[in-house]
Structure 1
Amino acid sequence: MKPHLLLLHGAIGASFQLKAIAAALSEHYTIHLYDFPGHAGQPLPDAPFSIQFFAASVADYIRSHQLEHLTIFGASMGGYVALHLAATQPLLVDSIITLGTKFHWDPVTALKESKMLQPAVMVQKVPAFANALEKMHAPNDWKVVVEKTADMMIAMGEQNPLQADDFKNIGIPVLLLLGDRDRMVSFEETIQVYKLLPDAGFGVLPHTPHPAELVNAQLLAAIILDHQSSPKPVAG
């Protein structure tokens, strides 16, 4: 029986953006594409968006589908949610791969990122993107999804959901990946978390910007499979 692979998309995104990655790994895993609450037409919750809320929703999915021997691949916010799940409910996941996950959150960073999530400005400056979001999240109002995400970022800036001690207590294997052309996530913040995790790997994807749908899926799959099959060093 194949091990399970659960793919988690990024903020204001949808699982279909990860279909190329899923296809590249489907020979080796039983694939699960998951849409966060309020995204891609999933029921929009009354509760605020938060990493904690999303991690709880993923935990419910894992339990309801009885997923064992589970690896989670998380793009951007999806990676942060996966690590929060591992920190708070470690028995639910066996290993994690993240791509382009932003770890450094403070008020200045949160304000900068949230300013790019203003629906009225997006309609004016990036109308094609706004139109894509409208179609992506229908029948939900895409503007509400964006506003809830901006509010979540502000809250993360006030209190980062994952602190240094949380990373130190994640005992499962974690592979942190970053595109060399990612303008949202820095090498410094990724390496800082890499050094905190007890069992971590770190890799850089060449010619790769932040959006997960632009990644070379075959290259990513090869890196993931190599990491998953590599023997772990024995301490001594």
Structure 2
Amino acid sequence: MKTIVHKADTRGKADHGWLHSNHSFSFANYYNPERMNFGALRVLNDDIVSAGMGFGKHPHDNMEIISIPLEGDLEHKDSMGNTTVIKQGDIQIMSAGTGIFHSEYNKNNDAPVKFLQIWIIPNQKNVVPRYDQITLQESELKNQLLQVLSPNSEDSGVWIHQNAWFHIGKFEKGNSISYELKNPNNGVYAFILEGDMNIEGQSLNKRDGFGVWDTTKINVIADSESKILLMEVPMSI
């Protein structure tokens, strides 16, 4: 088993006034040659957007882009004709493929919006762009890992053009669970959304990241009331 730890306070930081962002991997003006990606996981941005502000129309191509709101309401518009608002409990996916334009704005004028922006390198290029989103029920997360993303359109959650699986779980203190990898050639990047957890002997706190590979299973223990996002991705791209 191989591991890597990214403590929350070691992430790259950006302060644009209206946007405060923490980058787990190199992004925009933050460049760290030792933190370019974790396998197919290319970007993990922890963003806070001020009231009424947001990202204007901008392009993407050949990337799988997942947005996970943590607090507030995020309005999305794109060149495919979609206009939606996503909020805590929603999972949004865009396959940029041959190219799209989109914008993201804080829907509210009186509170910030907090969300994760995640980019996965696809296993197919120049696919037809597409958009999808789902809403999770909080009860589905209690003391278990709920699959929210996979490579299979018939499976639970949203799907992407990559052999990746995402799970989210919310655990009471003292609860433990084992996660078995879907593919032994993959790795798992754990991101602690809330609380304190222990994964394979490594103590982790809120917004810490922990990568594990060359294993078939990982063991997770909640040291306090906690919430976690597990991202299983190919290590070879």
Higher percent of residues as strand: 2
Length-normalised TM-score, structure 2: 0.27
Higher percent of residues as helix: 1
Length-normalised TM-score, structure 1: 0.27
